[in-house]
Amino acid sequence: MTRAARSITFDEERLSMRLAAIAVTLAVATAAQAAERGMHLCPNAITAESYWIDLNAIHSAGAKVTAEIARSVGAKNGCKLVMSDRIKPIEFRHGAFVLTDGTVTGWAVPDAYIAYVK
């Protein structure tokens, strides 16, 4: 296989994995945030990633991710539930957004922010 062919195959695999992650994102977010307009903001990029991985693991195991479960996972990871419809990104570093509603500032992975704005 040529280098160009390997590159295309690799890019297709990455795209496929990203699309699968987005599908899980939408499923988790719909269940976790349907009853409330807010999102968990974490103290740093590492805890934001951990929070999102934990939610995805629960969903992948077949459990319904409820608002209560999302709050529990958020608390475990030190993330605060910010109830606001004004949360906006102010910076992107280390693979995560720094977000604020003007009062509270914290971190979230891009998939969590996409779910919030949907």
Of 85, 79, 93, 104, nearest to 33 (Cα)? 85
Segment 6-26 shows an average pLDDT of 54
Which residue in 104, 98, 112 sits closest to 53, CA to CA?
Answer: 112
pLDDT band per the 50, 70, 90 thresholds, residue 5: very low
Mean model confidence pLDDT for the chain = 81
**Residue 79 predicted with pLDDT over 90:** yes
Q: What value does the mean pLDDT take over residues 94-104? A: 95
Between 2 and 88, the higher pLDDT residue: 88
Q: H helices of 34-108, where?
A: 45-60, 67-76
Which three-class secondary structure state does DSSP give residue 49? helix
